Structure 1
Amino acid sequence: MRGLRLHLRLPRSRSGRIALALAIVYLAWGSAYLAVHVALGAFPPLLLSGLRNLVAGIGLFLYAAHGRRVWPTPVQVFNAGIVGTMLVGLSSGLLTFGMRSVGTGAAAVMVATVPLFATVISAVAGRPVAKGEWVAVALGLLGTVVLNQGSGSTAPASGTIVILCGALFWAGGSQLASRLALPSDLFMSTALQIGLGGAISTALAWLSGERVTHFGFLPAFAFLYLMLMATMAAYLAYGFLIRHTSPLVASSCMYVNPIVAVALGALMLGEPVTRWTVFATAAILSSVALSFWFDRRRAVR
C-alpha cells in the first residue's frame, strides 16, 4: 500500500487537482449510463446500485485503514452514514426506482436539476448567491432540456416526482457533506459514505426479492467498471470537489454527464448527433465556465 501511495502523483496546484477531479467525475459518471445499461443484463437495478457501492466502500475502507492510528470519531461515522444514506441510499435508490417508468433521456434532464437545488439550498443556508450563478444554473438546465429535445419521451407524474426527489436528496447530501464534521481523511470519509449507503440499498434490494439470476462476461466487466471508476474513483473526486469548490462547481457534473453519455451513445451505439446536440453542448459548457469563474472570484476574495 505504501508503494502505491508513493507512485500516485497528483497535481500540486489547487486548480490542477480540481481539474483532475472534474475530469474523473465527468468521464466516470458520464460513461456510467452505458455501463449500467450493460450491467442490467444480469443485475436487478437496486441490487446493482447497492452492491457496487457496498463492495467499493469495503475496498476503500481497507485501503484507508491500512496503518492508520487516528480513527474517525463516532460522530464523524454517524455523519458519514447520514451523507451516504442521502447520496447513495436515497438519491441513487430513488433514481433507479423512477427509471422503471421514466426513460433515460428524461431522467437525465430531471437529474440536471441538482445544481438548481444545490444553489437554492445554499441560498437558504445563508451563502450569498450572485445573480450570475443563477444565470449559470439556467444555462445548464436549458442545455440539458435541449439535449433531450426530440426524444419524444413522456414521463409519468409518479416517476417524475420520484426522480426529482432523488435529485433533491443528492443536492441536500452534498450540502450536508460540506457542513457536517466528517473524517478528515478523504479515503476514510468516502469509504464510510458509500459503504454505509450501499449497505442500506443492498439490504432493501434483498428484502424486496431482487436476485442475480444469471451472469455473463460483459455484465461482470460493467459491474467492475462501475465499482472501480464510477464509485471508488468518482466519489473520491466528488468528495474532493465538495471540500474545495462551491456546490455549483461540484454539481456541474450533472450538466456535463449527459454530454458524455450522448457522445458514447454516438460512438458505441450509433446514435445520431443533431444540431440540437451541438447547441446544448455550447449552453452546458458555458454554464460550467460561468460556474468556474464565480468560484474563482469567491476563492480570491
Structure 2
Amino acid sequence: VLRWRGSPAPTRRQWRNLAIMGLTMLVLGNGMVVLAERTVSSGLAATAVASVPLWMALFGAMRGQNASRGEWLGIAIGFLGVVWLNAGSSLTATPQGLILLLIAPIGWAFGSIWARGLDLPSPFMTAAGQMLCGGAMLIVLGLLSGERPTTWPSMNGLLAVAYLCMFGSIVAFTAYVWLLHNVRPALVASYAYVNPVIAVILGVIIGNEHFGGRDFLAMAVILAGVVVLTLARTRAK
C-alpha cells in the first residue's frame, strides 16, 4: 500500500537494517515469548516482558544516552507495580522457558536501541519492512520446527488476527517505531508497563473477569511509574 501511494522503496542498506530489526525484535523478542508461554505461566511472562525498560535503559547507557534519576525511579516503580499485579498468579516455568524469557526482553530492547539513528525509511515503511522480514523469518523457523497448518481457522480466529494486524501492527507498532526515533528510550519502553493494565481492564470488560483492591493498587503503582517517566522525560529535554 505504501509503494502504491508513492513511498520510495527501502534501499539495500535499509533492508539490511530492517532485517536485523526484524530478527532482534520480532524473532528474538516476540517469537521467544510465544515459545516460552507454552511452558511458563502468564504472570511470569508478563513480569519478564516488564523488564524491557530496564534493558533499554542499560543498552541506552552503553550508547551514551544515560537515563536520568527520575527515569530510573519511574522504571523501578513501574516494574514493581507489574510484579505486584502478577504476584497472585502462579509463577511456574521450565528451565527452557526461563531461558527463552531471558532472551526475549534482551532481544527486543537491543533491537530497539540499536535502531536509533540508523539509516531507515519513513516510520510506516520501517514498520512494514521490519514486520515483513521478521514474519518471513518466523515462518521459516515454524516450518523447520515441524509446524504445519492443519485446519482452516475459525471466524473468531480470523477476526482476532485481523484486529491484531490493524491495531497491533499497523497502528501500535508503527507508533512504537516513530517513538524510537523521537523520544528518550526510557519513555518508549514504558509501553511494557501500560500493557498489563490494559489487559486487566479488557479482561473485565470483555471476559467478565474480576479484580480486587490489590490489583487496583498495583495498577495505580504502574501508572505512577509511567507518570514519573513522563515528567522525567520533560525535564531531560
User: Alpha-carbon deviations, 1:59-90, whole Å to 9, x = none?
Assistant: xxxx2212537443211111111111111122
The 10-residue stretch of structure 1 (255-264 or 153-162) with the greater mean CA deviation from structure 2: 153-162
Partner of 2:79: 141
- Which residue matches 2:50? 112
Q: Which runs of 5+ in 2 are unaligned?
A: none
Q: Which residue of 2 aligns with 1:88?
A: 26
The equivalent residue for 2:102 is: 164
Normalised TM-score (structure 1): 0.75
Note the C-alpha offset of 1:284.
Answer: 0.8
State the partner residue of 1:38: none
Q: Of 68, 75, 78, which residue of structure 1 is paired with 2:13? A: 75
The amino acid that maps onto 2:169 is T
Q: Aligned residue for 1:251?
A: 189
Which amino acid letter does the alignment assign opposite residue 97 of structure 1? Answer: L
2:67–2:186 contact (8 Å) kept in structure 1 = no
Matched residue type, 2:127:
T
Conserved in 1, the CA contact under 8 Å of 2:53 and 2:186?
Answer: yes
Q: What count of residue pairs does the alignment treat as equivalent?
A: 236
Matched residue type, 1:271: E
Aligned to 1:220: 158
Normalised by the length of structure 2, the TM-score is 0.94
Partner residue in 2 for 1:193: 130
67-76 vs 261-270, greater mean Cα deviation: 67-76
Q: Distance in 2 between matches of 1:245 and 1:126?
A: 15
Gaps of 5+ in 1: 1-62
Instruction: Give 1:9's aligned residue.
Output: none
Q: Match of 1:66, as an amino acid?
A: W
Query: For residue 264 of structure 1, what is the aligned residue in structure 2?
Result: 202
Identity %: 35
Secondary structure of 2:149's aligned partner:
coil
Alpha-carbon RMSD across the aligned residues, in angstroms, is 1.5
Residue 39 of structure 2 corresponds to residue 98 of structure 1: no
User: What CA deviation, in whole Å up to 9, does each residue of 1:9-51 have, x standing for no partner?
Assistant: xxxxxxxxxxxxxxxxxxxxxxxxxxxxxxxxxxxxxxxxxxx
Letter in 1 for 2:136: A
Kept after mapping to 2: 8 A contact 1:265/1:271 = yes
Q: Is the Cα contact below 8 Å between 1:110 and 1:160 reproduced in 2?
A: no
